[in-house]
Structure 1
Amino acid sequence: MPHPTTISARDRLEQILSRLNDRRSEEKTFTRLYVESARREADASDRRRQTGAGLGPLDGKIVSIKDLFDVAGEPTLAGSIIRRNSPPAQKDALVVKRLRAAGAVIIGKTHMTEFAFTAVGLNPHYAVPGNATDKRLVPGGSSSGAGVSAAEGTCDIAIGSDTGGSIRIPAALNGIVGFKPTASRVPLDGSFPLSPILDSLGPLAKTVADCVTADAVMAGEQPKPLVARPIAGLRIGIPRGTLFEDLSAEIAAAFSESLDRLAEAGAEIVDCTIDDLIDRLAEATRIGSIAGLEASRIHAGWLNDDAAPVDDRVKLPLRRRLTVPDAAISALLQTQRALAAAMDERLSPYDLIALPTTPIAAVPIASVETDVAEYNRVEGLLLRNCQVANQFDLNAITLPMRGLVRPAGLMLMGRNGTDAAILSASLSAEALLREN
């Protein structure tokens, strides 16, 4: 079979569309396909390649986008049926515009949890897209379809959003790479918000290199090959404590092996402490999570409508947050900014921080569909480690760990603005983790 790079963009697109057509009666990963526009974009890419006028490394890549990005001429649903009658978007989201300008072939929009508020991958309005490795398992959320589409190969790169782990959780559970950039790098224009303070937009893909390319385009930078940063000499902090509690035995063993590989390659592995900062933020957010408080204001218009057809896992927590005074929220955000500065200083002695992306792997969909207590337990564990990067304004990437029956990720976190350094180190770490 020819190598993918030798196949035309149109032929590759048609192969994917054929797969999707074969399962059209039970499609769960995509909520909308752009068949004709994708064909036009693929044909244009092929013409550029034939004339030597390519637009760069993203030209001809098949890209899916989460169902919260504006596409001109249609309402942006953000996973919610109450937005079906919303006015159509006047123009594409800025990141979608940039992707198209770089030659990306936008194949469709992917499933997400309602308003991106939950992390397991369930949305009562849509069938659950089963995990790419086992359809009986949850995909993770909120970028659930993004994780599945990138892992199953119905796109090359998926674009998601991450407010508390919504890129990294589905990436880890589906066995792929997911990158959450420093929040300020990628503009949010035209993406339906959950929490403007915490929201980040980023890519999911099978390789770090594809994430590097998509991230650069989304940030308005010129994509160029990133030199892998040698692991030798890196000082890697391990924040043992709260973030290592309730760690499954399989993930603990895979994480330990991953650290051994990094150490053998010359990294200095040292324990560090950040529990006190996490605890202080937890105390400050007893009035409600930052995401929940911000979202309660965004959705205030319908939250007190008992008949609003919205997932109770979204509606009820946000409704409670409506009662929190604006002054209390302002004080919380001031505390958050101070703690983010303290975290930046705390992490300054380290090149990066490493920890398990999630302490557990994907669980059966059946185990959380009707059991509220189990759902809450699983969601809390999936969010716990990832949300640190959002709450303290860091950047982070998840890489697949080897030797696991159910996928799980190694997360590398870096200080605000160190995106290039984290990505270049990830290129080297990715190669180490894939070695037999």
Structure 2
Amino acid sequence: MNADQLLLGPAHAMAAAVRAGTVTAEALVQASLARIERTDTAVNAFTDLTAARALAAAQGIDARLKAGDEATRKLPLLGVPYAVKNLFDVEGLTTLAGSKIERGQPAARQDGPLVQRMDAMGAVLVGALNMDEYAYGFTTENSHEGPTRNPHDLSRVAGGSSGGSGAAVAAGQVPITLGSDTNGSIRVPSSLCGVFGLKPTYGRLPRNGSYPFVASLDHLGPFGRSALDVALAYDAMQGHDGADPACVRRAVEPTAPTITQSLSGLRIAVLGGYFHDNAGPDAQAAVARVAQALGGLHAVELPEVARARAAAFVISNAEGATLHLPDLRLRPGDFEPLSRDRFLAGALLPAAWVLQAQRVRRWFALRAAELLRDVDVLIAPATPVVAPPIGSEWIEVGGQRLPARPSLGLLTQPLSCIGLPVCAAPVWGCHPRMPIGVQIIAAPWREDHALRVAHALEQAGVVQAPVATLP
């Protein structure tokens, strides 16, 4: 299998081929850069390429392998091209965070910790990816860089705010990307673009070396073409970093070695109530298909989910606005209008509202903890509908006409609010042409449970992430 063919498959197969000497790391990087050049005019996933850096890194890997370096040969992501949302610090690039305002800032002096860790495990960075401005959005209809388009239907959104990250994997440009998730920004693009994504437990991965949005809600995590690829990337990035005060001192707990373990003994249920009522027919069908594949699951409910989502909105608005107050005063015209207006609204929120939102958040976290004493894994839809057309103002869900941009996070926001680990996995066949994702939710620090379920569903053919057919 040549580099072009390998590029359209999973990352673990690429690493195995480099390890076996059947393809070089340089050939894989060349194939990735060529496919980006060929397809990104249509998709618009990338904002920057790091071609010289990538080729030099790949050539270094090949040279070490040729010299018989066994440590290099054992690297789990050996020679795998990857890319990052443009809120990650990359040495030599300005960290844009999807904005116009940050373009005047100096380039990053060094890579962020997660980029460093990915490189240390053999992965090769090829570029930075488009996103919603300051990570505030669910569609990546960025007015500064242009919208990222869904590779499975170029007239539709890719989701957001990590839309470039989801689209680049779906387009076959790279097999792994990194993104951020504050209210659903990994899971929404995963669902709409038909790829796997992992939002780890809050505090599991360090966030220093990335542009913040809402410090008490921000998570960083990987996208991939398979559950194992996501596990390998997540494992590569684990570890404490004291520069992020929220990052826990917890031992590395690899998930890839146990991903093939049987699901026997895992207690799995479907989240009903709010999560059923606010899902369209395609989303409901995806959950039903997954539940059937897992042996038929009983339904359970979390109380007051709508209040938890409202709390997430208030906290996001207030914390996000505080971060941007100086620019809101001095450069309001340089914001995207929708982002600016949301931040301005957040700046005007009464402190009592924010305090009450934090109380609701704490209460809801305790209710989730109670439920997760009796259940190991919960299944829920990831988005209420498949990807809507670019420019859509409304979506239809359960007979209700809802504003499209915020409502794509209808089912992800309540879970972000309490920091649970969630793997998004794509289901096909519920809609005639488009994928839609399910959320596989676990207790804190049990990413291994979520990934095991995703892998089992993938092996059964229930979830999958095929590369889009592009011109």
Aligned residue number for residue 378 of structure 1: 404
The CA distance in 1 between the partners of 2:46 and 2:71, in whole Å, is: 31
Aligned residue number for residue 448 of structure 2: 420
Aligned residue number for residue 241 of structure 1: 273
Contact 2:42 2:154 in 1 (8 A): no
Q: Which moved more, 1:194-203 or 1:335-344?
A: 335-344
1:113 to 132, 140, 143: 132
The yes-or-no answer on 1:198 pairing with 2:217 is yes
Contact 2:317 2:345 in 1 (8 A): no
Aligned residue number for residue 203 of structure 2: 184
- Spell out the pairing of 1:205-354 with structure 2 (5 A cutoff): 205-220=224-239, 221=252, 225-263=257-295, 269-274=297-302, 276-282=303-309, 284=311, 288-305=313-330, 307-326=332-351, 328-354=353-379
Contact 1:402 1:433 in 2 (8 A): no
The CA distance in 1 between the partners of 2:114 and 2:311, in whole Å, is: 33
The CA distance in 1 between the partners of 2:389 and 2:180, in whole Å, is: 24
The residue type equivalent to 1:278 in the other structure is V
Shift of 1:318: 1.0
The CA distance in 2 between the partners of 1:48 and 1:333, in whole Å, is: 52
SS at match of 1:409: strand
SS at match of 2:333: coil
Q: Which moved more, 1:57-66 or 1:419-428?
A: 419-428
The CA distance in 1 between the partners of 2:219 and 2:318, in whole Å, is: 17
Shift of 1:304: 3.2
Superposition TM-score, scaled by structure 1 size: 0.91
The residue type equivalent to 1:363 in the other structure is P
Change (3 A) 1:151 1:53: same
Shift of 1:100: 1.5
Contact 2:440 2:453 in 1 (8 A): no
Deviating above 4 A after TM superposition, structure 1's stretches of 4 or more consecutive aligned residues are 23-27, 282-285, 325-328
Aligned residue number for residue 146 of structure 2: 127
The CA distance in 2 between the partners of 1:235 and 1:162, in whole Å, is: 26
Shift of 1:133: 0.7
Q: Which moved more, 1:31-40 or 1:426-435?
A: 426-435
| Structure 2 segments unaligned to the other structure (5+ residues) | 7-16, 240-251, 395-399, 465-471
The CA distance in 2 between the partners of 1:424 and 1:48, in whole Å, is: 34
Superposition TM-score, scaled by structure 2 size: 0.84
SS at match of 1:91: coil
1:163 to 178, 182, 187: 182
The residue type equivalent to 1:347 in the other structure is L
The CA distance in 1 between the partners of 2:463 and 2:86, in whole Å, is: 35
The CA distance in 2 between the partners of 1:233 and 1:200, in whole Å, is: 29
| Structure 1 segments unaligned to the other structure (5+ residues) | none
| Same amino acid, percent of matched pairs | 29
Contact 1:356 1:410 in 2 (8 A): yes
Aligned residue number for residue 71 of structure 2: 53
Aligned residue number for residue 59 of structure 2: 43
Shift of 1:237: 2.1
RMSD value, Cα: 2.4
Aligned residue number for residue 396 of structure 1: 422
Contact 2:194 2:426 in 1 (8 A): yes
Name the count of aligned residue pairs: 425
Contact 2:28 2:80 in 1 (8 A): no
The residue type equivalent to 1:213 in the other structure is L
